[in-house]
Amino acid sequence: MSIGRNKITIVGSGNVGATAAHWAVTRELGDVVLVDIVEGVPQGKGLDLYEATPVVGSDCKILGTNNYQDTKDSDVVVITAGSPRKPGMSRDDLLNINTKIVKAVTEQVVKYSPNCILIVVSNPLDAMTWVAKEVSGFSKNRVLGMAGVLDTARFRTFIAEATSTSVEDIQTLVLGGHGDDMVPFPRLTTVGGIPLEELLSKDKIQALVARARSGGAEIVNHLKTGSAFYAPGASVIQMVEAILKDKKRILPCACYLEGEYGLKGIYLGVPAKLGARGVEKVIEFKLTADEKQALEKSASSVKDLIQRIQL
C-alpha cells in the first residue's frame, strides 16, 4: 500500500462489501483492502475492481486477501461480514450467528489496526455495533454503525418520487434502531426548503413513512435470495468520506448514547457530526411527545437485543 494515502479495510467481500469497495474506489478515497474468510473471492473481486481503475481514473490500489495482516494500520475499517437476511427472516433472527462473526472480526481488526475507526454494517445493526465496541475496547467516538444514512436515503428517494422533484433537494432524517421501529421525521422534512406537509397530504406522508420502515424487507422480497447492497454500500462510504476528509457532516448514525435523548448504554440512530475523530458530537434537538415515544420504543427494541447477547 502507498505511504500517505488513506487505507480503508472492508471486512466481507459479499455484495455489500464489494459494492462499498467499488464506491470507495470511484470516489478515490484511498487504498482498499477487501478481506474475507472465503478463499479466492476477495482476491478475484479485488483484482476485477483494480482493473477498472484506469477506466474510472482512480489511482487507488485494491487488495483482496484472506489475511488480516494485510489490513495493518488501516484508517477506517468497515465491517460488513455476517449472515444476510433471507425472506421471512427478521434482523433479530441474525443475532446469535452474527454476534460470533462480528466478535471474531473485531478481535482481528483491533490486533492489526489499533488506531482505526470502526463502522459496522452487519445486522442487527445497533446490537452488532455494541458488540464491536465491547470487544474492541475503543472509545465511543471510534465505533459507529451505518443505518440512518441508508434509511434516510430510502425515505428521500420515496419523497422525491412522490413529489416529482430531485433527490438532491430532499432533506430529512430517519433515526432510531435499524429495524421495524425506526423513526422517520416528516416534521423535519423539506423539499428545496419547503416543508413536506405543504406539498403532500398526511395520508400520503404516512404511506411514505411506512414504506421507508420496510425498505429493506421490500428489496429482500424482490430478490428472494439476498438483501440490498447498492444503497447500503453507498451509504457507508458517505460516512467513510466524511471521516477521512474531516468534513464535519451531520449524518444520522448509530452512536453510543450516554444520556443523550434520555438514553444510556445502547447504540441508536441519532444525528451525529462526523469528522477525523469519528463521531465528534451527537446532535440533540427537541422532540415532540410522539417522536420521543417512538424513539424510546425503538431504543427498547435495541436494548432487548443487547441484553440477549452473550459475548
Residue 35 — φ and ψ, nearest 5°? -120, 140
Among residues 7, 178, 213, 273, the one annotated as catalytic is: 178
What is the SS3 string spanning the chain? CCCCCCEEEEECCCHHHHHHHHHHHHCCCCEEEEECCCCCHHHHHHHHHHCCHHHHCCCCCEEEECCHHHHCCCCEEEECCCCCCCCCCCHHHHHHHHHHHHHHHHHHHHHHCCCCEEEECCCCHHHHHHHHHHHHCCCHHHEEECCHHHHHHHHHHHHHHHHCCCHHHEECCEEECCCCCCEECHHHCEECCEEHHHCCCHHHHHHHHHHHHCHHHHHHHHHCCCCCCHHHHHHHHHHHHHHHCCCCEEEEEEEEEECHHHCEEEEEEEEEEEECCEEEEECCCCCCHHHHHHHHHHHHHHHHHHHCCCC
Cell of residue 68, nine digits: 488480516
Nearest-angstrom CA–CA distance, 209 and 201: 12
Cell of residue 120, nine digits: 459496522
Q: Is 22 a catalytic residue?
A: no
User: At 92, which amino acid appears?
Assistant: D
Nearest-angstrom CA–CA distance, 113 and 80: 17
CA proximity to 308, closest of 144, 121, 82, 93? 93
The residues annotated as belonging to the active site are 178
